[in-house]
Amino acid sequence: MGYQAHFRVWRGTDDGELRDYTVEVNEGEVVLDIIHRLQATQAPDMAVRWNCKAGKCGSCSAEINGRPRLMCMTRMSTFTEDETITVTPMRTFPLIKDLVTDVSFNYVKAREIPAFTPPAGLEPGEYRMQQVDVQRSQEFRKCIECFLCQDTCHVIRDHEDNKEAFSGPRFLMRVAELEMHPLDEARNRPEEARGEHGLGMCNITKCCTEVCPEHIHITDNALIPLKERVADRRYDPLRRLFKKKD
């Protein structure tokens, strides 16, 4: 059975406002369906970014009742019928309009990570690695680049000044993935994570892991192992004495 829901949606740019709407909801719908209905019936100029409506493109990220989420994967059945549902744009990135933010910060950070660097002379097709190593990075490759983890991490969410020095959980995870690749030998990824990507600013609050729609264990499986490798390389006296590489 359908019902009328109360939505409160951010409209406009930085000096915009939360606007109230009463809108029809039908069984099985998700928040993105309701935003589309608002566009179709009451707010044709409302800006919203989406693509797949299947939790795979990472485009429809927003904050629903203050929590970073994919709009297309948030079922209306998780709210009570009399609840006001507030939808706002991701707070960590500059607002363009309504629910659409400029996420180019993330593309800048992605470009700062040097690509996979196999040993010189090894051609594609000659790579050999053990299944256990393949599986290790498989989890990280599920990332759909929704940037909800970036949005939620307090290091940049609450401190604009940190954006220059901190790449955020998604990209520290990328560094960890490369570090765990047995053929990525030429670079000192832990040192790059510490120096250029600001790994030390992460204080393991795990908020990034909590919001990840792909349920990637960002903190436990990427960030903490990377921190351990930094500690190993910098503070292990035997490693320093013999200048041992992994």
101 belongs to the binding site for ligand FES (CB under 6 A):
no
- The residue (of 46 and 207) whose beta carbon lies closer to ligand F3S is 207
Which residue, 165, 181, 169, 186, is CA-closest to 222? 169
57 belongs to the binding site for ligand FES (CB under 6 A):
yes
Question: How far from 234 is each of 52, 166, 237, CA to CA, in Å?
Answer: 44, 20, 8
- The residue (of 53 and 187) whose beta carbon lies closer to ligand FES is 53
**Count of chain residues binding ligand SF4 (CB under 6 A):** 14
- The residue (of 145 and 196) whose beta carbon lies closer to ligand SF4 is 145
Which residue, 52, 186, 23, is CA-closest to 119? 186
- 210 CB neighbour count, 10 Å cutoff: 15
Helical axes 169-179 vs 104-111, angle rounded to 10°: 20
- The residue (of 50 and 79) whose beta carbon lies closer to ligand FES is 50
- Candidates 54-62, 170-178, 192-200, 214-222; binding stretch for ligand FES (CB under 6 A): 54-62
Measured torsion, CA atoms of residues 10, 101, 15, 22, in degrees rounded to the nearest 10: -10
Which residue, 159, 156, 136, is CA-closest to 148? 156
Round to whole Å and give the CA distance between 182 and 127.
10
- The residue (of 59 and 179) whose beta carbon lies closer to ligand FES is 59
Candidates 4, 51, 104, 205: give the one binding ligand FES (CB under 6 A): 51
Residues 152-171 that bind ligand SF4 (CB under 6 A): 170
- Candidates 1-9, 16-24, 51-59, 108-116; binding stretch for ligand FES (CB under 6 A): 51-59
Candidates 70, 156, 222, 223: give the one binding ligand FES (CB under 6 A): 70
Round to whole Å and give the CA distance between 176 and 149.
16
Q: Which residues of this chain interact with ligand SF4, rule CB under 6 A?
A: 143-149, 170, 211-214, 216, 218
